[in-house]
Each structure stands twice: as structure tokens, then as C-alpha cells.
Amino acid sequence: MRHRYLALAMLLLAFTGCITRADPVARIQAARVLRVAFDPSFPPFEFVDATDNAIGIDVDLGVALAESLGVKAHFVTTTYDGLYDALIVGRADVIISALYPDPTRTRDFVFSTPYFNAGEMLVAPQQSSIAAPEDLSGRRLAVVFGTDGHMVALGWEERLTPSPVLVLEQSAAEALEALAAGEVEAAVVDGLAARAAAKAAPLIAVLVTDEPYVIAARSTDAALIEAFDETLDVMRGDGSLELLLERWVLSEY
């Protein structure tokens, strides 16, 4: 009899193991927790508040995605360099940490559709005649020294006739201040700064570099990313993703 029960237990264990490996959603639902790897050192995406609680865009997104599966989110703290290792050793199910999709890792990991693009943006007053880089000929353009946007602007300087006049600033805040003061006619700043500025004043904002943020999982958990892509589509459609982003983009964190 003991052997019969032992054989049955082993059969059930093997069957459960097969289901778990084949269906990451079922595994997470059985565990009742979604383990999210993140590096809490990049506000407003992820950071720790005065009471030592994890907060930010990616934290709220992780909670929302966990709720879509009917489970709780548990955040696994690591360094940015250790995010993939947390998946490899099984400490986490997904990475949600302002992660740029690494094209060299597509064999071992899968990536979601982007939920945010942090690329540099060209911003200008809505009433101006600037709506695209081609409109910058002869215009004064503020750029942040040494950024990707600065490199792109150097290309415009070579390509456009007459060339735009580049005004070098040390931060996005300084570039936007120059724009608000009328010292320049346009500026190139990071996506977060551009979104915040466009909420505060009537500005056009045009993406000029690409830096998508995505969710990552092990390649064996591709079904999990597919489920989250569906949830992200719903959140885009009902406006909840935009509201989540706005909450943090406009916060004083």
C-alpha cells in the first residue's frame, strides 16, 4: 500500500511539474505571488520612500500586472546588473525595472511590448512653426551636453541649411528653462522631462531617439509575457497606463 501511495505521489508531482514548466501563469497563480526583480535606484520608475517602501511607476505596474493574474506582487531587490541573474537563478519571475530590451539576450529571455519610451524628445511651443527636426534650420536649439539628444542634434547641424544654433545646457531643467524664457526656440530633453513639460505648458513633443522600457522573463515563460502584453493592451485602451505614468511623471518624488 505504501508503495502505491508513493507511486501516486510521484505521478502527481511529475504531472504538476509538467504543468508548471509548460504554464508559467498557472505556476504563479498556484504560488499566489508574482516575483518582480527591480533595482530601486531610479526614480520615478522605482525607488524607496522615507518609510522604506518600494514605490514608483514600475512598482505600480507590477502590482497591476499581478492583480491581472489574481495574485500579489513581491519585489525582489537587486542591482541593475543583476536583474537577469535574478531570473536565471529563479529568484524572480519577471523584470520590471526601466529595462531596455537587450538584443543579445533574445535566446534566453523574452520581452514585452514597450510600456514607456524614455527616448529624447524635441519640444517646442505649439504656436511655433517647429513640428519636426527639419523645421530647425537657423533656429536656436537647447540640448543637454553629452546626451544622445546632443549627438542627434549634431547630425541636424551637419544636415540642415542653415544649421540650427546649438545652445549647450547641463541638464534638461536648464534646457527647458531656456525654452520658457525665450532664449531658444526649441529643446531636446529626455522623455520624462518632455512629458512633464508638455503637461505644464502647451508644447509639441516629437520623439527623436528610441529607448523603450519593457518587461522581461525567461524564454521558457513566454506565455507569461504574452499574458502581460494582453493586459498592457487593455491598460493602454482604457487609459489606466497613461494615468499611471502621469501620476509619477508629474510627481515631485
Counting residues of the chain whose pLDDT is more than 90, the rounded percentage is 85
Q: Tell whether the model's pLDDT for residue 58 goes beyond 50.
A: yes
Mean of pLDDT values over 77-90: 96
- CA 243/CA 253 separation, integer angstroms: 16
Q: What digits encode the pLDDT tens for the residues 114-160?
A: 999 999 999 999 999 999 999 999 999 999 999 999 999 999 999 99
Q: Tell whether the model's pLDDT for residue 4 goes beyond 80.
A: no
DSSP one-letter string for 117-183: E---EEEEETTSS--SGGGGTT-EEEEETTSHHHHHHHHHHHHSSSPPEEEEESSHHHHHHHHHTTS
Whether the bond between 43 and the residue before it is cis, its omega within 30 degrees of 0, is no
The SS3 of residue 40 is: coil
- Say what the pLDDT of residue 92 is: 98
Mean of pLDDT values over 230-242: 97
Count of CB atoms situated within 10 Å of the CB of 211: 16
Is the CB of residue 38 less than 8 Å from the CB of residue 44?
no
- Say what the pLDDT of residue 252 is: 61
- Say what the pLDDT of residue 18 is: 45
**Domains of the chain and CATH, by start:** 24-117+212-249 (3.40.190.10), 121-207 (3.40.190.10)
Whether the bond between 162 and the residue before it is cis, its omega within 30 degrees of 0, is yes
Q: Tell whether the model's pLDDT for residue 78 goes beyond 90.
A: yes
Mean of pLDDT values over 186-214: 93
Count of CB atoms situated within 10 Å of the CB of 35: 20
Pick the more confident residue, 145 or 200. 145
16-20, 189-193, 226-230 — which is least confidently predicted? 16-20
What does DSSP assign to residue 202?
-
- The mean predicted confidence, pLDDT, of the chain is 91
- Say what the pLDDT of residue 199 is: 85
Closest CA to 188 of 136, 154, 150, 227: 150
- Say what the pLDDT of residue 250 is: 72
pLDDT band at 249 (very low <50, low <70, confident <90, very high): confident
Closest CA to 123 of 113, 138, 133, 114: 133
- CA 67/CA 152 separation, integer angstroms: 40
pLDDT band at 253 (very low <50, low <70, confident <90, very high): low
Q: Tell whether the model's pLDDT for residue 21 goes beyond 80.
A: no
Is the CB of residue 184 less than 8 Å from the CB of residue 141?
yes
